[in-house]
Amino acid sequence: MNDLILKNIVKFITPCIQLFGIYIILYGHISPGGGFSGGTIIASSLILQHITFGRSSVHTIFRKDRALKLIGFSLILYSLMKGYSFLSSQFHFPHPPTGVPGSLLSGGFILPLNILIGIIVSCTIYIIFTLFANE
């Protein structure tokens, strides 16, 4: 992919896509969207980068083994948090504050869970892409 127009446009558009993905993840609990859709958007920006600038451009910051560990870590955090919220009402453990409805920091566990889902989905979809991309 040695097209100058493509390279310049991708350079410009990648941060925009990623910002949009992060927006969708963060506002998942008060507007349409959430971890899964935001995660796929971020993964699509990584895939675009991979196609235009080659494997090395992504792999300098995002290696496969590191991504797997990131997924594992996020999944552990996710299951601990979700397990806590399932079990806590039985024992009357404290809940996180729910905040003012409509503001960004509200909804208790939903925001951190959405962020974790976003990380898991973006890593997974990018790894699935690398399985099929032959170099």
Partner 1 sequence: MKLITSLPLIEILILFISAFLMPFVRKNKNIKIVSVTALTFSFILSVVIVINVLQNGAFYFNTGYIDTILGIQLYIGPVESLLNSLFLFVIILVACFSFFTIDSEIRENRIKLFYIMVNLLSASILGVIFTNDIFNGYVFIEVAALTSCGIVVVKETQDNIKAALKYLIMSTIGSGLILMGIAFIYSFTGHLNIDLIHQAILEDYTQYQKALLITIALFTSGLGVKSAMFPLHTWLPDAHSTAPTASSALLSAIVLKPFAFFLIKIMYRMIGFDLVNQFNIITIILTLGCCGMLFGSLAAIFQKNIKRLIAYSSIAQMGYIFFGIGLGSPFGAAIAVYHMIGHAVTKSALFMCSGLMIEKTGYKTIDNYKGLGHEMPITFALFTLGAFSMIGIPIFPGFISKWYLSIECIHLNQLLLIFVVLASSLLNAVYYFPIIINGFFGIENLKNKEYHSKKVETQKLLPIAALILAMVLLGAFSKNILDFISPELH
Residues in the site for partner 1, rule: CB under 8 A? 68-69, 71-73, 75-76, 79-80, 83, 85-87, 89-91
How close are the terminal C-alpha atoms of the chain, in Å? 13
Reading the block at residue 112, the tokens are: 């951190």
CB closer to partner 1, 37 vs 85: 85
CB closer to partner 1, 17 vs 77: 77
CB closer to partner 1, 45 vs 74: 74
Q: Where are the beta strands (DSSP E) in 1-135?
A: none
Q: Tokens 């992504």 appear where? A: 58
Q: At what angle do helices 64-91 and 110-132 cross, to 10 degrees?
A: 150
Residues 6+ apart with CB under 8 A from 32: none
- Smallest distance, Å, CB 123 to partner 1? 12
Nearest by Cα to 22 from 91, 100, 119: 119
- Smallest distance, Å, CB 59 to partner 1? 19
- Smallest distance, Å, CB 14 to partner 1? 28
CB closer to partner 1, 13 vs 68: 68
